Amino acid sequence: MKIPFLILLTFFGLQSFAQKKPNVILICADDLGYGDLSCYGATKLHTPNLDKLAASGIRFTNGHSTSATCTPARYALMTGEYPWRKKGTGILPGDAALIIPTDRKTLPKVFKEAGYQTAIVGKWHLGLGEQVEKNWNGEVKPGPNEVGFGYSFIFPATADRVPTVFLQDHKVVALDKDDPIDVNYKQKIGNEPTGKENPELLKMKSSPGQGHDNTIVNGIGRIGFMTGGKLARWTDEELSFTFLAKAKQFIAEKKQSPFFLYFALTEPHVPRMPATMFKDKSGLGARGDAILQLDWTVGEIMKELQNQGIAQNTMIVFTSDNGPVLDDGYQDGAVTRLNGHTPAGTLRGGKYSALEAGTRVPFIINWPAGIKPAVSDALVSQIDFIQSFAALLQTKVPAGTASDSENQLAAFLGKNKTGRSVYVEQGGALSIIKDNWKYITPEKGPAYAKLVGIETGNLETPQLYDLSKDKEEKHNLADTYPDKVKALAALLAEIKAK
């Protein structure tokens, strides 16, 4: 007979422990694919820490972000709203303004209002300040602190975009008033070398036709132009160590009160320039090495929770913002040294794609005091975090906000095996999934994105897949079930009109 863990705890007189609000650490990787971890079937790469997290938690086989790129996926995670409802939620440049209204209910606000200490450490990519033109040398706001994080230690956009600096709360870290920072995405500023003009200065070449040839920082050509802030610029090799140190510090400082930490890691997004201890370790080039670094970082967090004595009642949610890409702008061995590794597992597509690998990502929830180890096929999504955590913490999300988010707490805790019945995915095209049937809307444009080497899912006629038997999307059944196509198209139109 199986006795639920919470009842067991009560039986042993540990009721107050069982009822204590858990700490929550949401770890979001950047561009990690469904097949990139050994617990998801990878055989050429070994990720022992994430495997351990999965084995002692719930490993979801049908866990999703909303979108096949970063900004929209993270917008949905924060707000519980489908990003395609709002203009300007595409991949943001490094100087973009904040795209989340500060009066909106967000995931960190749900925690904050329930008495949690909240923090973000890592990649932000949801814009900063009220406008594009901003002074990077003063207080840069509004940003993460204004949308619900009590503490923030971030980089603004992506590792391949300027400004390549950290911001702590509202300030660039290690700012030098005699060397002010300026950023421009329209034209070159200053006299610093660029990847285009001085390729001989690069330690990692950018890929032909994929940009990444503007200002050179740390031997790497970036997207966008930057001057000044020489002391403030990060060293890519220690990016993750820096984030890890800040995350550990927050955990140690806040361990007495419940806390919510959004730990937004940069691996394995480009440029992949891991620390020396991971260089060449995977045998699969820099992308494999970056995944080993990611796994190690997660292991360090798990160790820290043990050391602080709070591992039992800390929930770790691990996921990724979108699917995998090998060549996303730099020649770093990801393609040439792949060695048979399959970043998307058996799925079709990848980052940018409407096919499953665009948004179906690794998804693990571990909470020793609250859930039993399992593998779940429930359809779960990051868009449901806000309503589900509000339910867990017994707080309310006002009507009219987070309106695409569902309370799927039971699925997240392994008590419900189905999860969502209806879900909309965003690649280039929108898709709708209902009861395991997936309809991809007709879309013009190339079926294959050559530069990044990914199937886009674009087809000018409808696509219909039965994911219960064919999550590989090999058999387009649109002609066999025209009524299903019609019904799903109508349902999508209805959701869009909401």
Least Cβ distance, residue 309 to ligand NG6 (angstroms): 36
Specify the residue, 195 or 358, whose C-beta has the smaller distance to Ca ion. 358
Tell me which of 160, 321, 327, 425 binds Ca ion, using CB under 5 A: 321
Q: What DSSP line would sit under 11-43, residue for residue?
A: HTT-HHHHHSPPEEEEEEESS--TTSSGGGT-S
For residues 359 and 378, give the distance between their C-alpha atoms in angstroms, rounded to a whole number: 15
Tell me which of 50, 53, 70, 264 binds Ca ion, using CB under 5 A: 70
Tell me which of 9, 22, 25, 31 binds Ca ion, using CB under 5 A: 31
Instruction: Confirm if 118 and 260 have CB atoms less than 8 A apart.
Output: yes
Question: How are the residues of the chain apportioned to helix, strand and coil, as percentages rounded to the nearest 5?
Answer: 25, 20, 55
Q: Which residues of 375-407 are buried (b: 16+ CB within 10 A; e: fewer)?
A: ebebbbbbbbbbbbbbbbbebebeeebbebbbb
Does 91 engage in binding with ligand NG6 (CB under 6 A)? yes
Find the part of the chain contacting Ca ion (CB under 5 A) among 63-71, 342-350, 360-368, 475-483: 63-71
Does 211 engage in binding with ligand NG6 (CB under 6 A)? yes
Which residue carries 């019904």 as its tokens?
Answer: 487
Question: Where are the alpha helices (H) located in 56-91, listed in sequence order?
Answer: 70-79
Tell me which of 59, 125, 248, 254 binds ligand NG6, using CB under 6 A: 125
Instruction: Confirm if 427 and 355 have CB atoms less than 8 A apart.
Output: yes
Q: What are phi and psi of 438, to 5 degrees?
A: -115, 125
Least Cβ distance, residue 423 to Ca ion (angstroms): 19
Least Cβ distance, residue 185 to ligand NG6 (angstroms): 11
* Long-range Cβ contacts of 200-204 (<8 Å, 24+ apart): 204/271, 204/273, 204/286, 204/330, 204/331, 204/332
Query: Do β-strands 422-426 and 430-434 pair in parallel, antiparallel, or remain unpaired?
Result: antiparallel
Tell me which of 22, 29, 30, 155 binds Ca ion, using CB under 5 A: 30
Find the part of the chain contacting ligand NG6 (CB under 6 A) among 105-113, 192-200, 321-329, 420-428: 321-329
Least Cβ distance, residue 70 to ligand NG6 (angstroms): 3
Does 35 engage in binding with ligand NG6 (CB under 6 A)? no
Half-sphere exposure in the Cβ direction for 423 (13 Å, CA): 32
Q: Encode 252-274 in three state secondary structure.
A: HHHCCCCEEEEEECCCCCCCCCC
Tell me which of 67, 137, 322, 441 binds Ca ion, using CB under 5 A: 322
Does 210 engage in binding with ligand NG6 (CB under 6 A)? yes
Does 36 engage in binding with ligand NG6 (CB under 6 A)? no
Distances (CA, A) of 305 to 197, 256, 312, 413: 47, 12, 9, 20
Tell me which of 21, 109, 246, 269 binds ligand NG6, using CB under 6 A: 269
Specify the residue, 91 or 114, whose C-beta has the smaller distance to ligand NG6. 91
Does 356 engage in binding with ligand NG6 (CB under 6 A)? no
Instruction: Confirm if 198 and 180 have CB atoms less than 8 A apart.
Output: no
In this chain, which residue has its C-beta nearest to Ca ion? 70
Does 328 engage in binding with Ca ion (CB under 5 A)? no
Select from Ca ion, ligand NG6, none the partner in contact with residue 160, using the beta carbon and a kind-dependent cut-off of 5 to 8 Å. ligand NG6
Using CB under 6 A as the criterion, what x/- string covers residues 37-76 for binding ligand NG6? --------------------------------xx------
Report whether the peptide linkage leading into residue 163 is cis, meaning its omega lies within 30 degrees of zero: yes
Instruction: Confirm if 101 and 400 have CB atoms less than 8 A apart.
Output: no
Which residue carries 């220690």 as its tokens?
Answer: 238
Residue type, 363: F
Least Cβ distance, residue 82 to ligand NG6 (angstroms): 17
Does 160 engage in binding with Ca ion (CB under 5 A)? no
- Contacts with ligand NG6 by CB under 6 A lie at 30-31, 69-70, 91, 125, 158, 160, 210-211, 223, 269-270, 322, 328-329
